[in-house]
Amino acid sequence: MKIVEDYSLKSLNTFGLDIVAEQYCELNSKDDLQSIMQSAHWDENILILGGGSNILFTRDVDGLVIKNNMLGIEITKENENYAWLSVKAGENWHTLVLFCLEHVFGGIENLSLIPGSVGAAPMQNIGAYGVELKEVFQTLEAINLTTGETETFGNEQCEFGYRESVFKTRLKNKYFITEVTLRLTKTNHKISLEYGAIKETLEASGVSNPGIRDISNAVISIRKSKLPDPVEIGNAGSFFKNPAIDKIDYEGLRLEFPSVQGYVTGPQSVKIPAGWLIDQCGWKGYKRGSIGVHANQALVLVNYGGGSGSEIKKLANEIRESVANQFGIELKSEVNIY
C-alpha cells in the first residue's frame, strides 16, 4: 500500500476544490486497513473518503486521507420473496442500483443516480423521491478506528433519521464502514411514485403500469434535467436539509406566502423545501466570482471552477442568515464541512 505525501484531492471531491492531503492512501481490503492502522503512518487525524460527493473542504487536510476502494457485491441469501446482498463499502452506489435492476431486485430504484459510495450511504441514510436507505438496510460492518475491532450495527444502532445517522453525529470519524447488507424484494415490489415529478414523467413516456426499471428511468431523467452534473459544475447536491417547522408556524407562513409547499412529517411538524426559502430570499442563480447558487435548484451551491471551500462556506452562512432573518427558520447543513 502506497502512502503519498501532499496529494491533491481536486479530482476526488465533487465541488472540485483544489486542496491537499498531507498524506493519502487507497485501500482495497479490510487487511489493508488493519495494516495501515498498525503502521507508523497511522495518524489521529484520519479522513475517510468515498466519492467525495457530500463534503466541503475549507482547508488542506492535516493528516491522513484514506480513499476507500473496497469492491464486491455478493448475493448472500435468497428465498422466494427476498434477496440479501452484502456490498463492500467502496462500490459505487449507482452501480449497485444497476446490479439490482439487472437481477430484478426492488427497493432502491428511487435512489438511482445518487453519487458516491455504498459505505457513505448509511452516513446520512441517503434518501430521494420518498425512499430512504433504512427501508432496505439490514446491517453494516465497521472497523472501530480506536480498537481496530470489527463491529456490526443493526438498523436501530445506526440511529437513522432524516439525512442522519449515528455516524454523522455521535460516532463521526470513529468508524470505517467496510460492508453493508441490504434486503431487496424479488416479488411484490413496492412501487413508490407519489413523490415529485415521477408520475408525470411516467405518464409523459406512456408508462401506465410501472415496474422498478421504469421508476429508475424516470428518476434518472428527472435528476438529469434538474441537477447540475458535478463533472460539469462543482457541487455536492443539496447543501442544506429541508427544515421541519411547527404546524402552527406553517399555517402562519401559508397565510403570508400561499405558494409555500409543506409536507407533514409528524403530528405537529411540517417539512418546508429549503430551496423555496432560499429562492424567496433572492439567492437563486446568485453568482459571486467563481461560486454561486444554482439557477435551477437553489438548494445546490456551486463552484464554477477556481472557487474555494471557505468562500462557499461564507456564502452558505449568508444564506442561512438571510433565511433566519426573513422566516425565523434555521437551515442546517447536509454537507459534511471539513
Closest CA to 126 of 238, 210, 285: 238
DSSP, res 241: P
Q: Which three cell numbers stand for residue 252?
A: 402562519
- Minimal distance in Å, beta carbon 246 to ligand FAD? 25
- Is the CB of residue 235 less than 8 Å from the CB of residue 305? no
String marking each residue 264-293 x if it binds ligand FAD according to CB under 6 A? ------------------------------
| Active-site residue flag, 163 | yes
Which of ligand NAP, ligand FAD, none sits in contact with 253, Cβ below 5 to 8 A by type?
A: none
- Rule CB under 6 A: is residue 160 a binding residue for ligand NAP? no
| Active-site residue flag, 238 | yes
| Active-site residue flag, 225 | no
| Torsions phi, psi for 137 (to 5 deg) | -70, 135
| Residues near 96 by beta carbon (within 8 Å), at least 6 away in sequence | 73, 85, 87, 108, 118
Which of ligand FAD, ligand NAP, none sits in contact with 196, Cβ below 5 to 8 A by type?
A: ligand NAP
- Minimal distance in Å, beta carbon 273 to ligand NAP? 4
What is the footprint of ligand FAD within residues 92-151 (CB under 6 A)?
A: 114-117, 119-121, 123-124, 126-128
String marking each residue 230-269 x if it binds ligand NAP according to CB under 6 A? -------xx---x--------------------x------
3-state helix, strand, coil in the chain (%, to 5): 25, 30, 45
| Torsions phi, psi for 160 (to 5 deg) | -65, 140
- Minimal distance in Å, beta carbon 160 to ligand NAP? 14
What is the footprint of ligand NAP within residues 18-37 (CB under 6 A)?
A: none
**Could you give the CA distance from residue 196 to residue 108 in angstroms, rounded to a whole number?**
16
| Residues near 238 by beta carbon (within 8 Å), at least 6 away in sequence | 274, 275, 299, 300, 334, 335
- Rule CB under 6 A: is residue 51 a binding residue for ligand FAD? yes
Q: Which residues bind ligand NAP (CB under 6 A)?
A: 127-129, 194-196, 226-227, 237-238, 242, 263, 273, 297, 334
